[in-house]
Structure 1
Amino acid sequence: MSAARPDAKAVKQAIQWMLRLREGGHDPALQQQCAQWRSVHHEHEQAWQRVTHLHQELDLRAIPGAGLALQTLETSQQRLHRRQALKLLGGVAMAGSASWLAKDLDAVSAWASDYATGTGERRIFTLPDGSLMQLNTRSAVDLVFNDQQRLVRLQHGELMVTCNPRLPLLVQTRDALLEGFEGRFVAYQDSDCTRVSVSHGKVAIHRPGMGQLQWIESGQNWRLDAQGAHRVAHMDMDAMAWTEGLIVTQNMRLSDFLTQVSRYRHGYLGCSNEIADLRLSGVFRLEDPEQLLRLLPQTLPVRLRQRTRWWVRVESIA
């Protein structure tokens, strides 16, 4: 059985409470009433968490018109339908902000997923079969757990699963169906491929038209794309380090490093072409991406050009 979602009525009530709290400021009585509503039923709390998560991801201070989206949702029952709501919120975000916000619209689609994380967020969940799942930043999954299968659909982003030793676990990505046996592995759905790394145990790769199963063994890293499944001999970044709140690099291109860091922050982050191939090795903590960026000039001949907190470009000091 798939994880339950709050119904439209609960979502509508959650939006109403959020709007009332925004208008009422720090009214203790109003906050107590909202807390009481949340405690009445688990669906109320679930709806509240989803609407709060969406509200925070849009960041009403940074996206003009995002507050109006919640107001419109509250006043139109028809738009509470998931697909219509996502279309509305996506349109508001794009109309009222710069084009770089397009990458953050995954956060809006997360509202309709069983489990999701926002920008810079990492969370651990226990699945119905006892398996552990950790989601990296900007990730969303749906579950299909029943008598026939235990399936995790990775909608976008990255996950790590620690499989129940008694039961295989299926992870569906855009490029393949992965079957994990006793062990732990990471699956990252990149823009053009799925990257799989196995910490221990083994993972079977199921792909249409594949003559025989391919296996990913402990310690191996693979790339799955439209051309097939390929083992990656060298990794310039530790695939598991994010689960400990780290980016660990070994001779990694600066441009690729900034692409990874940009997953954990809002806005634009890039570099000039002349320094894109500079190499970087080290251990970097993820809890404060802005502080992480400020460390770059200490290790490379670069400087940060910052127009706003949302727009940062790394340039040569020459």
Structure 2
Amino acid sequence: NYDQFPKDFIYSYLLEYSGSPLLQMSVIRPDGVRLELVSTSLPYSNLKIIHNDRIFSTDIMIKKELGLQAEKFEFEIDRLSVEDIIFSKTELNKPLKGNYVFFIDFYEINKESKIIDSKLIIGGKAFGIMGTDELRRDLAIGLLWGTPLALFIGLVVSIGSVVIGLVYGIYAGFKGKKTDETMMRFNDIIYALPALPFLIILSVTISNSIFVMTGFLMIFGWVGIAKVARSMSLQIKTRGYVEAATIMGQRDSKMILKHILPQLLPYAFASIAISVPAAITTEAGLSFLGLGDPSFPTWGQILHDANTFGAASRGLWWWIVPPGIMIAITGLAFVFIGNALDSIINPKLKR
């Protein structure tokens, strides 16, 4: 009972079968006209399998089936969309209001098939605060779900990277000599590796799980922190109270925890805040390339779906702009926090 045609429709089904059943889809309109929409065979299988699939109104087979029934309409239907044909009056191309009954039939030789799930989704012009994507998912819900995921990735990666880099750098600087030289050469090797290509390779070959990706990001995120922590550790260990503690025979671990680590904590907190945007944007970039975890609606995954379904070329700005704005706002917020902490820690920066 709308004055406009539906935007599209999706039929989703979950079927248990063996062999190669025939799927037929048709609709009886309010005026009694029956239109055949789909007639296709499902993939053959000797064993009983569970088959999950979707039929979109944009499928070319539906347009071909309707083209064979053009005589039921008094106007040209070749250039019309499937929705404009199915839900149109026969005498002119205007919406036909009323009840539409869709029929889905599965035909097979044996009687062992079973329909587990079956649903038809008809898309209107708009839904929700920010519209929907191609699969009729509310984009506002995706953005809300993406917020804690982005914070989780950013904070876990930044905290993990800072802790690893801090411990590594302090120990290398405190021990000095061959230990310092060996550890810093290993640090240089990791630092020289191109992070993005390696992250792509690791995501493709090992796993694209969001938790595994978080670990990968930490692998490449600690090296810069370690260099700074080492240089600060080298300066602190030459001070008188550290040398006095060494003469008194204090253990290395006690001197590090009591005299060196506390002085690096302010720098660590600032580094955590500044490192969050890099982790968020890196994850978003990997997800945009299709290497993210599809089971989580991250902002990068939303942008990937938008790119896959051609949102930019179709003018669907609400699918592209909000995730980008959320990434930018979150990144800027943590940059400002990090700069503020840095100014507090290093008063000379205020001048």
More helix by share: 2
More strand by share: 1
Highest RCO, 1 vs 2 (Cα 8 Å, sep ≥ 6): 2
Output the TM-score relative to the length of structure 1.
Answer: 0.26
Pair member with larger Rg: 2
